[in-house]
Structure 1
Amino acid sequence: MSLQGKTVFITGGTRGIGRAIAIKCAQNGAQVVVAARNTGSSTVVADIQAAGGHAIAVSCDIQSEDQVADAIQVAVARFGGIDIVVNNAATLALKPTADITMGEYDLMAAINTRGSFAVVKHALPYLRKSANAHILTLCPKPQLESKWFVKNTAYAVSKFTMGMMAFGLAAEQKPFNIASNTLWPFSTIDTDGLAECGNAEFQSRPRKPAIVADAAFWIITQDSSAFTGNFCLDEIVLREAGVVDFDHYNSVQGTDLADLSQDHLIADDQLARLAKLRQL
């Protein structure tokens, strides 16, 4: 399916992965609404228009339900509806319980989980009118394995809760043909957020945001009545879609698959599935 004439509402789309998804959608005919806290200095609207799409940027802190509701109404007033929601906005504090502040905990809960829920809630009336509605949430597959909680329980809980919400929405909204899926990268992604995390292992050999954008595009162009309730990994999505060349996604040219900086929170069954696909 095409994104021609579709309206895509993306949170946190002024930089990094969100920006890459916004531009990818624009290149394929979408009307894009970028909702973020700091839109004033961003060039994302100009970049989207240069890519062939129509776009507006809306100042919106998704911690505020009122701001979310207003941003949705701005989108609808400008483009007539909403077909796709991409929950990309997130924050992280990779700290154990003894070190994290309640302010940091509250911020992750307010943005990662509550904020994403608020965006979907206020977009639902318009998604239900769409011929092929999608909700895509950038989060990992929920897992009850101690290795993911031992170093940063609060962050893991917030991201896994996003996955549970996305899975629940798939079941709840299926009668309305609204798809809900998640997407997570196999490797770390070369963004400002990665540069700020201070983890040398994560920063050494990442991939470009384009790999997540390409996977996201594939997901949101599927039949919403058939492709829903999936926990997707970017490289798996693209390999199963027929992509064979992944070298151009590397931030460090010549990086072997085995040497990529692997992201955390990836489920063992996803790693096993990817290993089989790489052997084909």
Structure 2
Amino acid sequence: MTPLTGKTVFITGSSRGIGREIALICAEQGANVVIAAKSDQPHPKLPGTIHSVAQEVEDAGGKALAIKLDVRDEDAVQRAMQDAAEKFIGIDVLVNNASAISLSRLQDTDIKRFDLIHSINVRGTLVCSKAAIPYLKKSQNGHIITLSPPINLSSHWLKPYIPYTLTKYGMTLLTLGLAEELRGDGISATTLWPQTTIATAAIEFALDKDLLKRSRTPRIMAEAALEIIKSENLQLSGQTLIDESLLRDRGISDFEQFKFDPHAQDLMRDLFLDA
């Protein structure tokens, strides 16, 4: 048996990028994986749908359930959790990966745009977490993992893109609160954030295509997420974890394997992290 045999991992935003990679590494460990995302039809520019990832999960040795899901829809989220729990006899891990990015000053941000990123990042994370809790309480090692950064109150991070920062810090604050609210239920709640930028479609299209060469692959985040999932007895609960630091603590020292460009020398540190 592999470490996650029989465990069910519910991952939002998992049709591509980091969410997809976490789905695949969990499948390699024998998990049941719920691929919950909006992308159920091929996109002209972005590869991957919930169905293509479900097939990859099956090919990697896991069991898959593909669910078209908008995390802003509370009723749909509750139905998705119920469907997942009925198919796989429970839910053991929720990965709050779905997120929207918008790097603009408050003065340059349309309020409708802020409402969108807030509804996905903060409200979506809250809705999914609340819906998952009844099932996680029945797990022997329940986890909520949220992909958000440590709360860095340095002025140079507070200044440049207030709307996005508010939502990402909101996700972290929510998770830290859940760690305490759920401690008596034996459910771990942690955040996970990359040391460097990660080579995903968000980097390529929303930021700067040249950043891909200075980024790491999503696999490093998946490896770190796996370490969190395997942790027991609330060992990491309430922590804001960085992928590289966590993996170093687990004895991994070869980070060259995670470079998107093997020849890159100057990797880009991710947002909200200081040297």
Alignment-derived partner of residue 274 in structure 1: none
What does 1:146-185 align with in structure 2 at a 5 Å threshold?
146-185=155-194
- 1:68 partner letter: V
Secondary structure at 2:9 match in 1: strand
- Find the partner of 2:72 among 63, 76, 91: 63
1:31 aligns with 2:32: yes
Alpha-carbon distance in structure 2 between the residues aligned to 1:216 and 1:73: 24
Distance 1:18 1:53, change over 3 A: same
Contact 1:48/1:55 (<8 A) preserved: yes
Aligned length: 266
Q: Give the alignment's Cα RMSD to 1 decimal.
A: 1.3
Flag the 1:224–1:113 CA change in 2: closer, same or farther, 3 A.
farther
User: Contact 2:217/2:259 (CA < 8 Å) preserved in 1?
Assistant: yes
Query: Which structure 2 residues correspond to residues 258-277 of structure 1 after superposition, within 5 A?
Result: 259-266=266-273, 268=274, 271=275
Between 182-191 and 224-233, report the one with greater CA deviation: 224-233
- Asked whether the 8 Å contact 2:101–2:164 carries over to 1, the reply is yes
1:44 aligned counterpart, secondary structure: helix
- Which string of whole-angstrom CA distances, capped at 9 and with x for unpartnered residues, describes residues 221-273 of structure 1? 100432211110000011110011111100111333xx10111112x4xx4xx
TM-score of the two chains, using structure 2 as the length reference: 0.94
- Note the C-alpha offset of 1:200: 5.6
Q: 2:144 is paired with a residue of what secondary structure?
A: strand
Task: Measure how far apart 1:78 and its partner are.
Answer: 1.0
Identify which of 112, 120, 124 aligns with 1:111: 120
SS at match of 2:108: coil
Residue pair 1:27, 1:51 contacting (<8 A) in 2 also: yes
Contact 1:3 1:25 in 2 (8 A): yes
How far has the Cα of 1:128 moved from its partner? 0.2
2:82 — aligned with what? 73
Paired with 1:35 and 1:90, the residues of 2 have a C-alpha distance of: 13
Q: Supply the distance in 2 between the matched residues of 1:183 and 1:12 (Cα, whole angstroms).
A: 15
CA distances 1:134-178 after superposition (whole Å, capped 9, x unpaired)? 000000011222211211000001000111011000011000110
- Secondary structure of 1:111's counterpart equals helix
- Greater CA deviation, 12-21 or 93-102? 93-102
Letter in 1 for 2:181: E
Q: Deviations over 1:177-232 (max 9, x none)?
A: 10000100011111111101233664441100000000000011100432211110
Q: 2:145 aligns with which of 117, 136, 145?
A: 136
- Check the 8 A contact 1:133/1:178 in 2, yes or no: yes
| Structure 2: unaligned runs, 5 residues or longer | 43-48
1:143 and 1:247 mapped to 2: Cα distance?
A: 27
